[in-house]
Structure 1
């Protein structure tokens, strides 16, 4: 018995020992995963102010060396951890966090607080289409009009028979007068809607432009925008990020003055980060430069400290001085000395006034009052400027001096949820509050706004209660029940797993959840419409018997629609490149055949590789459409002088107007500045571009209207699709070098194929910017007869490629 007890005790001891041994291992592993980044080896700002330049230089170099050592030892590991946490690619992070030790510190602070980046193009932007009740009314009118058409075509036999016009209690159908009234109301609404849409966020020249501009930045936002249109060198990522760290001031009775003064405070540390801390880079070989940098560093911190505690009287003085030179902080891009930085801060007072005027009505509206009440006072926001100033003092010291620890496996919780989860849920509520504010207070597209607004507010209130009392999964389920999928499209790729509806959702549906595919599709259609039409047609019609992709069965694996392809693009690293949208998509198409995205913010596997898109025709077509867009943009911003040739040239029309060779000494010829001669290794490109620039769906609809026999219609549609498929196949097989004139005349873009022999001829004409005698120009070419050459010139004149002017 004793032996048995001893054996049992030994067993318990072994289990006990193994438990703590494994725990110790876990502890060691966890400790190694924690990143510790020391600040300046200075106690506080008081000590900093007492140091001389040499001492400050020593401290800054020490901070730089310690940071570089960490990046050397664990930089790759840190990039991966931050990439997942912040929803940025490693390339973007590497550029930003290696600029300065203080930049890395700001990013780590943000990561600790669950702050992440959403993609500007993937986050559904609010516009008048988000008035969901309006869409219901529009659908009703469509049904009424459809019924009227059916009634007319059937001789009245179907009139008033549509069941949707009767309620569940079999009440009387809607009267004709009421039907017509609804249609008239919708027509009036449509006019107002179109006007609102013209002034709202939309795609302009392949960029998603937030309108009005005041909506581009909100101090109370929880996450940060990644905007691919900003260059690496001037991007405002760190400014936005530190603005989120800076929190904001709010209370139900917030006055204009309180909001103005607090928004001014909110800008102080972000401006310091952007213009000073991000650019601390001492040159140990140049003491003079170092002295300037250190003085600027020290004076800027002193200035910011004073500004945080600035009195109302000082603000009044600054307002009066700003009234004399109405400047904004945006007018100063680079800071070259401490005086410039002070000027930026003083000028930012104008920004604060503009911000207050543009946002006070929003943050005191009912939806936002309801939302802000879900936040934690003195944690997410502050109710008074005095408390806010104390917080900013602490934040400034943290950025400068304190050791920052970043644990990517941290389970620090708020209300039982991780920091990111907490902010994600708040962000959904805030997006819905913003939608309600815009729809009911700004767009005014609803004729019965009060009733619908009250209904929507009740839904928002329900979700607020769910946030406080239920789990994250319950909250997400309720959000999907009460919110539009558009609100869930938050542009945060790292939120997909939290937003997925059920475990049975397929991979592509999961990757669509947090991104607005429709918005991104609109953007691609705005810049490369022919390419989008080509891909959509090919995906629908390619098969083993009609191979339009370079695959055995003519199909792209896991791609059943254009949406699927764009979803793959949205989840790739290419969406984060700082290039035009069209070029990012082009690089995605080119690289999808043989590379896996190892540098993306989402998990990758073999399904990320798309086999069959390696034909160069896609890049050629995208490049052509880019050129067309560039020409269209230049024409939109046209200086009348720039197109004087096309504007003033004579235009030869009928054959009677054509010039004969004997008269060519009476004219001068000049090459248009609006056209370029481009060599492309594909002789079918112009026809391909023309084919897919047309509305293919409209062509099918025309066939359906003209042909009533079903079998004949199917045969005609098949022949139509076969004709288009042949153009695609011929284009894919073509490698013949071909020259095209590409340009714009009278708001119309032209792509004109021209014989290869025209290259030296065109270069010759371009070498005479002031023109030359038409006869001399014709005599200098020898590859065709003079009459044939003159005929081609006449055709080019009609399209505006060359200008012809009578010789005086």
Structure 2
């Protein structure tokens, strides 16, 4: 059933007499055949995926741009769907590596800012020369006019910058603290995309998640409905058909081959018309699915109706293959596709055909990205003072590229794109890109931004070690690119965990030096420390009032001096739930965290500003770096178990080194459900009394122990 160029995936030939199903009325006589076919397909696919040294599986992995392990983990039905999209030249890009259009892509604005800065600099030089000549009072009216223009220019720039900053916050990808890249909803998913996005933190089990791998594979197979004069309701209706098709295969896989489910779907689908869809929309306005589709139409109708998209679709795309301009033909396409997924044999087409289709799609994808940039910049962002003029210029360039794509070779097309498009648009997120000179600038920035957001201190320390220790032969930039190109990037773990896996694979093996292995261990402990602090910070912000700590903190006293013996009976003691006690192998972790939680680049810039003498500045910078290198080396070479209190107090994160004796004391104290008399607690820990007394002042100061004055 599964074969490549008429060569079976395996040596078992299955003669299946089942011819498929075109109408739900055929189901009764074919029920047995349906279940038999499902078992045959599942057995054959599973046997194929588990065949040792399977060269064909490696080819499928390469064409899909998914690691072999990810392909093997696909269920039989999903494996079949993935081979179908592969045959159409569709592969997978990584969600975190692909270019997303942002306000920074208004290149005319960047030119205007450069021009304004140049004018301001020249004006400043003229003013300084004028003052030096002593003619500052001559031509006062002219000078005043110049100042007025300058002030107006500054005010205009401030207004524009304020608007720009607001746009950046809402219209740009943002990393959250747990290492997930959040893309603005209107840009995260398009039904007319050409490739499949892999998002490490989406769930295929959620049928409402358009970022899931299965959802996107089904969308690429189902194509989309479009014509130049389509109405919003046409768009809604065909998206509703598409969603019905997708929902069927997003359900529990045990139901997909159920004859009753198949019958129900085909009957509903065939009877679906504009009247029935409108009735449902009116009668069930609370439907989340309907609301989502309407919102999608609202956000994307203007984009798909724009002149740039129309030119690309009409000139390059193939009606009936890449999109459908007739509602009836689109409906029949979805029914045929439904039948093909369930009942047809799947063959892997020759790689020449697959590569040709993929190359076409990559070129179109580049043009669509530029068309989207122009639409967002000139119709949505509102950052351009003369959008019509700039748009006309950019449209001429895009039309030229469309004609080049249609008539010239791929090499000529790429050369023209490099002359007319910004290099960042070449960051398509495809690791197996057929376009020359794969661009990684966007990918590198997005990944490093994610690491700096989720594990900022650990990342800063590791980058510093690579660049300054002299103990690691790998270059930092090469290391980051290696991570981007590694199978680890496709793991479903948080970004920091994926990065740590890659670090272990490069520096943590038996063939690596003791220093490199020590760096891996140190990095792990620093990440653990940061994650602990993050969880405590979350708890501090989310549950602060509920757990009572805020109330106790307000009522607790802050000691101004050490308590005397007679004072112990005056207080109740209670441990803060905002602190956690941990035991780590590195006794220098706290000073390391303190040193590398600073922004080293900003610190260096400040040194350069305040130390005017270049030699003194270079000497001070060298001294700082040498101290940090030594601190890291000492932490690597002298491992010593140490206990820390890690937590949050008054919105500040603290790591407080503490004696191991406190391990037992802390857990005893935490066992009490409410504050207890301090003297009673001391008397119940006679062997640890001195330890408690000697640290009581500091632990109270950092909010680790609350002391409540007894009445």
TM-score for both structures, normalised by structure 2? 0.89
Q: Distance between the aligned counterparts of 1:472 and 1:392, measured in 2?
A: 32
Change in CA separation of 1:305 and 1:114 when aligned onto 2, cut-off 3 Å: farther
1:245 maps to which of 208, 217, 221: 221
Conservation of the 8 A alpha-carbon contact between 1:48 and 1:56? no
| Among 194, 197, 222, the residue aligned to 2:165 | 194
Q: Would the aligned equivalents of 1:592 and 1:613 in 2 still touch at CA under 8 Å?
A: no
SS at match of 2:344: coil
1:365 aligns with 2:306: yes
Conserved? CA contact 2:586–2:635, under 8 Å: yes
**Inter-partner Cα distance in structure 2 for 1:402 and 1:514:** 42
* Residue number among 589, 594, 597 corresponding to 1:690 in the alignment: 594
1 CA distance for matches of 2:612 and 2:397?
A: 49
**Inter-CA distance 667–302: structure 2 relative to 1 (3 Å threshold):** same
Q: State the partner residue of 1:355.
A: 296
Match in the other structure for 1:804: 707
Check 1:654–1:458 CA distance in 2 against 1; reply closer, same or farther (3 A cut).
farther
- Give the corresponding residue for 1:86: 64
> In the alignment, what sits opposite 1:498?
435
Q: Are 2:35 and 2:257, in contact at CA under 8 Å, matched by a contact in 1?
A: no
Instruction: Give the drift of 1:438.
Output: 1.8
1:266 and 2:180 correspond: no
Name 1:578's counterpart in structure 2: 492
* Corresponding residue to 2:39 among 55, 58, 61: 61
Alignment correspondent of 1:745: 649
Looking at structure 1, the residues matched to 293 and 14 of structure 2 have their Cα atoms a distance apart, in angstroms, of: 33
Q: Per-residue displacement from partner, 1:749-791 (whole Å, max 9, x unpaired)?
A: 21111111111111111111323222222333356655x6345
Cα distance in 2 for partners of 1:387, 1:610 equals 64
Residue in 1 aligned with 2:631? 727
Deviations 1:463-503 (A, max 9, x none): 111110111122122222222222111111110x5231xxx
SS at match of 1:245: helix
* Distance in 1 separating the partners of 2:245 and 2:544: 42
After the TM superposition, which of the residue ranges 619-628 and 383-392 deviates more from structure 2? 619-628
Deviates more, 1:583-592 or 1:438-447: 438-447
Q: Secondary structure at the match of 1:575?
A: helix
Classify the secondary structure of the residue corresponding to 1:676.
strand
Q: CA deviation at 1:793?
A: 2.6
Find the partner of 2:465 among 534, 538, 558. 538
Structure 1 gaps of 5+ residues are 1-27, 160-173, 281-292, 329-347, 501-509, 544-553, 597-605
| In 2: Cα distance, 1:491 partner to 1:631 partner | 35
Match in the other structure for 2:537: 632
What is the aligned length?
688
Match of 1:114 in 2: 89
Which runs of 5 or more residues in structure 2 are unaligned?
Answer: 135-144
**Cα distance in 2 for residues equivalent to 1:670 and 1:148:** 65
> Shift in Å at residue 673 of structure 1?
1.6
Is the alpha carbon distance of 1:746 and 1:139 closer, same or farther for their aligned partners in structure 2, counting shifts above 3 Å?
farther
Cross-structure match for 2:139:
none
Q: 1:707 to 1:493 in 2, by over 3 A?
A: same
**Structure-to-structure mapping, 1:544-555, within 5 angstroms:** 554-555=471-472
Determine if the alignment matches structure 1 residue 564 to structure 2 residue 474.
no
For 1:313 and 1:610, locate their aligned partners in 2 and report how far apart those are by CA, in whole Å: 72
Aligned to 2:368: 430
RMSD: 3.2
**Are residues 780 and 154 of structure 1, via their aligned partners in 2, closer, same or farther at CA, if it must alter by over 3 Å?**
farther
Cα distance, 1:569 vs structure 2: 0.8
Which residue is 1:445 aligned to? Answer: 383
Q: In the aligned structure 2, how far is the partner of 1:565 from the partner of 1:294?
A: 44
Distance 2:513 2:122 in 1: 45
**Cα distance change of structure 1 residues 412 and 716 upon mapping to structure 2, 3 Å threshold:** closer
1:181 counterpart residue number = 152
Q: Aligned partners of 1:653 and 1:526: how far apart in 2?
A: 34
Q: Which residue of 2 aligns with 1:219?
A: 191
Residues 144 and 179, structure 1, Cα contact 8 Å, conserved in 2: no
| In 2: Cα distance, 1:58 partner to 1:33 partner | 19
Is the CA contact (8 Å cut-off) linking 1:260 and 1:353 kept in structure 2? yes
2:328 matched to which residue of 1? 386
Q: Deviations over 1:130-150 (max 9, x none)?
A: 222222333344445556777
Tell me the equivalent position of 2:277.
315
Q: Distance in 1 between matches of 2:53 and 2:421?
A: 40
Residues in 2 aligned to 1:682 and 1:158: alpha-carbon distance in whole angstroms:
65
Task: Quote the offset at 1:527 in angstroms.
Answer: 1.0
- Alignment partner of 1:751: what SS? strand
C-alpha separation in 2, matches of 1:39 and 1:672: 69
Report the 3-state secondary structure (helix = DSSP H, G, I; strand = E; otherwise coil) of the residue aligned with 2:97. Answer: coil
Indicate the residue corresponding to 1:287 in structure 2. Answer: none
Q: Deviations over 1:229-274 (max 9, x none)?
A: 1257558211210111001111111101100001111112221112
Q: CA deviation at 1:295?
A: 8.2
Is 2:400 aligned against 1:462?
yes
Residue by residue over 1:44-98, the C-alpha shift from the partner in whole angstroms, topping out at 9 and shown as x without a partner, is 24475123654543333233333334344478334311211111111211111xx
Q: Write the mapping of 1:465-476 to structure 2, written as runs, cut at 5 A.
A: 465-476=403-414
Aligned mates of 2:15, 2:392 — CA distance in 1: 51
Question: What secondary structure, in the 3-state scheme, does the structure 2 residue paired with 1:411 have?
Answer: helix
Match of 2:415 among 468, 473, 477: 477
Q: 2:29 aligns with which of 51, 57, 65?
A: 51
Note the C-alpha offset of 1:567: 1.1
The CA distance in 2 between the partners of 1:366 and 1:643, in whole Å, is 60
Give 1:521's aligned residue.
Answer: 448
Distance 1:131 1:610 in 2: 48
- State how far apart, in whole Å, the 2-side matches of 1:522 and 1:240 are: 26
Q: Does 1:718 align with 2:622?
A: yes
Higher RCO (C-alpha under 8 Å, 6+ residues apart): 2
Q: Distance in 2 between matches of 1:440 and 1:736?
A: 60
Rate the CA distance shift 1:646–1:575 in 2: closer, same or farther, 3 A. Answer: farther
TM-score (norm 1): 0.79
Structure 1 range deviating more: 463-472 or 647-656: 647-656
* Cα contact 2:196–2:213 (8 A) shared by 1: yes
Q: Name the SS for the 1:367 alignment partner.
A: helix
Matched residues in 2 for 1:148 and 1:780: separation?
A: 77
CA 1:556–1:418: 2 relative to 1, 3 Å: same
Residue in 2 aligned with 1:298? Answer: 260
CA distance in 1, matches of 2:591, 2:15: 63
Q: Distance in 1 between matches of 2:536 and 2:449?
A: 20
Cα deviation code 1:135-172 (max 9, x no counterpart): 2333344445556777788895699xxxxxxxxxxxxx
Contact kept in structure 1, 2:574 and 2:705, CA below 8 Å: yes
> Are 2:61 and 2:68, in contact at CA under 8 Å, matched by a contact in 1?
yes
**Which position in structure 2 is the counterpart of 1:335?**
none
Deviations 1:677-729 (A, max 9, x none): 11110011111111011122232233323332332222222222222222121
Contact 2:106 2:377 in 1 (8 A): yes
State the partner residue of 1:614. Answer: 517
Alpha-carbon offset, residue 458 of structure 1:
1.9
1:41 maps to which residue?
Answer: 18
CA–CA distance in structure 2, aligned partners of residues 232 and 498 of structure 1? 30
Partner of 1:82, secondary structure, is helix
Structure 2 residue aligned with 1:341: none
Name the SS of the counterpart of 1:642 in structure 2: coil
* Counterpart check, 1:420 vs 2:336: no
Give the structure 2 partner of residue 205 of structure 1: 177
